[in-house]
């Protein structure tokens, strides 16, 4: 199906949501949810209508009707062995539904974030610069989420000498521990025309990555600017946030908020909304 061009960015929700309606209806009944739970936690693969009816304390015809509804939406599978019909939970179907639900949820929350920006800034375009270094792409992803919700420009710092997986965990980590700087592009980052800086980095050896150390040193016109900082990390944040804050304050930047994203937080819309709230608050301070 061709894109309908009704949305700025096509995410196929106009196709996905109608497919979700039947599943929502199926899940909107307590007995059916109990049936799903029993089937999902069953290890025998041999639960029939009579077994489910006995465990739920309802009639077999009622269970049969519920199973028919669930099977119609692909949530439940059945197989016949002789005179018996056994039912099992279709995990793949529910995983697909979860993916679609998450997409719908993220789309709605993006609109909520944009509405938050509109209400609190009186429709002003946020004049801000998002500066980040990203080795795996995670930090860049957070920066792009900020830009999608708030606007602004992204300056992604690149190291002139590329890290391999091996050198990142050897030379890169050592340089991070020692607080050193990588050679980066751009060499100079002029932020004199921006009202707010948002700066993000991955955590290497519990400290900011060497590339972001260089980015802070490369700032021009940053004195007196407000900033929000964030870090991303697979493990612990360590000293990354306080060290980044101190480096910026040494350059005359006022850090008004800081936040860390663990691996599990990157796709968390509540965490993202918290960051957007910090940005709006800092911008209006």
3-state secondary structure 145-158: HHHHHHCCEEEEEE
Are both 218 and 271 inside the same structural domain? yes
In this structure, is residue 101 part of a structural domain?
no
229 neighbors 241 (Cβ within 8 angstroms): yes
Instruction: Report helix, strand or coil for 256.
Output: strand
CATH code of the domain in which 252 resides: 3.40.50.360
Looking at the structure of the chain, the number of domains it has is 2
Average predicted confidence (pLDDT) for the chain: 87
Are both 77 and 143 inside the same structural domain? no
pLDDT at 245 over 60: yes
In this structure, is residue 2 part of a structural domain?
no
pLDDT at 270 over 80: no
Are both 24 and 148 inside the same structural domain? no
CATH code of the domain in which 35 resides: 1.10.10.10
Q: How much is the average pLDDT of 42-64? A: 93
Q: Using one digit for the tens of pLDDT, what is the confidence trace for 112-144? A: 555 555 555 545 668 999 999 999 999 999 999
Of 76, 94, 112, the last residue of a domain is 94
Q: What b/e readout covers 41-53, taking b as 16+ CB neighbours within 10 angstroms?
A: ebeeeebbbebbb
In this structure, is residue 114 part of a structural domain?
no
In this structure, is residue 8 part of a structural domain?
no
Instruction: In whole angstroms, give the CA distance from residue 43 to residue 53.
Output: 18
Indicate the pTM of the whole model: 0.63
In this structure, is residue 107 part of a structural domain?
no
Domain that holds residue 54: 13-94
**What integer pLDDT is reported at residue 67 of this predicted model?**
94
Give the single-character DSSP code of 137.
Answer: S
Are both 17 and 62 inside the same structural domain? yes
pLDDT at 100 over 90: no
Are both 135 and 261 inside the same structural domain? yes
Q: Using one digit for the tens of pLDDT, what is the confidence trace for 178-207? A: 999 999 999 999 999 999 999 999 999 999
pLDDT at 106 over 80: no
Q: Using one digit for the tens of pLDDT, what is the confidence trace for 145-186? A: 888 878 889 999 999 999 998 999 889 999 999 999 999 999
Are both 207 and 277 inside the same structural domain? yes
Residue 152, burial from CB neighbour count under 10 angstroms (0-12, 13-18, 19+): buried
Are both 181 and 275 inside the same structural domain? yes
Are both 173 and 227 inside the same structural domain? yes
The better pLDDT of the pair 78, 112 is held by 78
Q: Confidence class of residue 1 from pLDDT cuts 50, 70 and 90?
A: very low
Give the single-character DSSP code of 172.
Answer: I
Query: Which among 106, 162, 113 has a CA at the least distance from the CA of 134?
Result: 162
The better pLDDT of the pair 273, 35 is held by 35
In this structure, is residue 231 part of a structural domain?
yes
Are both 26 and 143 inside the same structural domain? no
Gap between the terminal Cα atoms of the chain: 47
Of 72, 94, 116, the last residue of a domain is 94
Q: What percent of the chain has pLDDT over 70?
A: 88
In this structure, is residue 236 part of a structural domain?
yes
| Placement of tokens 């918290």 in the chain | 274
Are both 161 and 241 inside the same structural domain? yes
Are both 270 and 141 inside the same structural domain? yes
**What integer pLDDT is reported at residue 102 of this predicted model?**
76
Are both 213 and 138 inside the same structural domain? yes
Of 74, 94, 114, the last residue of a domain is 94
In this structure, is residue 104 part of a structural domain?
no
């Amino acid at each position: 199906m061709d894109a309908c061009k009704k949305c700025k960015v096509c995410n196929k929700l106009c196709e996905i949501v109608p497919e979700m309606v039947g599943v929502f209806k199926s899940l909107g009944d307590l007995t059916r949810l109990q049936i799903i739970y029993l089937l999902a936690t069953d290890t025998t693969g041999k639960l029939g209508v009579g077994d489910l009816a006995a465990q739920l304390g309802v009639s077999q015809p009622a269970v049969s009707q519920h199973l028919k509804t669930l099977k119609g939406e692909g949530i439940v599978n059945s197989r016949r062995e002789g005179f018996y019909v056994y039912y099992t939970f279709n995990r793949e179907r529910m995983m697909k539904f979860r993916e679609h639900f998450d997409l719908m949820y993220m789309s709605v929350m993006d609109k909520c974030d944009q509405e938050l920006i509109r209400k609190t800034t009186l429709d002003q375009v946020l004049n801000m610069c998002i500066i980040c270094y990203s080795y795996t792409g995670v930090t860049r992803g957070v920066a792009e989420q900020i830009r999608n919700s708030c606007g602004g420009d992204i300056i992604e710092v690149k190291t002139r000498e590329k890290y391999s997986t091996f050198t990142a965990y050897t030379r890169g980590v050592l340089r991070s521990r020692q607080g050193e700087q990588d050679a980066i592009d751009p060499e100079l980052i002029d932020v004199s025309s921006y009202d707010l800086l948002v700066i993000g980095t991955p955590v290497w050896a519990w400290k900011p990555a060497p590339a972001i150390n260089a980015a802070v040193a490369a700032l021009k016109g940053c004195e007196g600017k407000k900033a929000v900082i964030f870090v991303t990390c697979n493990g612990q944040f360590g000293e990354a946030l306080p060290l980044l804050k101190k480096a910026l304050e040494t350059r005359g930047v006022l850090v008004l908020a800081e936040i860390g994203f663990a691996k599990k937080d990157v796709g968390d819309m509540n965490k993202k909304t918290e960051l957007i709230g910090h940005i709006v608050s800092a911008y209006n301070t």
